[in-house]
Amino acid sequence: MFTKRTLTAALEKIRNVGWIKSHRNINNDGAVGNTLEDLLGISENNLPLPNAAEW
């Protein structure tokens, strides 16, 4: 689980890397979200629920 502070820090770290090639097939509608989940260490799921605590 991420707190707002730890998620913000993780997203800033990812942003500072620069361009990141998708980890998934670009024809996959969820490729960007899947790549972000990979980078954050979040297990893939297709549930319409927040992955970061309550938000």
What does the alpha-carbon distance between residue 15 and residue 49 come to, in Å, rounded to a whole number?
Answer: 23
Residue 27's domain spans which residues?
Answer: 1-55
- Stronger pLDDT, 49 or 43, i.e. the higher one: 43
Domain count, the chain: 1
Dihedral of alpha carbons 36, 41, 44, 50, sign: negative
**What's the pTM?**
0.72
Asked if residue 36 has pLDDT above 80, the reply is: yes
CA distance 55 to 50: 5
**CATH code of the domain in which 16 resides:** 3.40.210.20
pLDDT of 43 strictly over 90: no
pLDDT digits (tens, 9 = 90+) for 8-34: 999 999 999 999 988 777 677 778 888
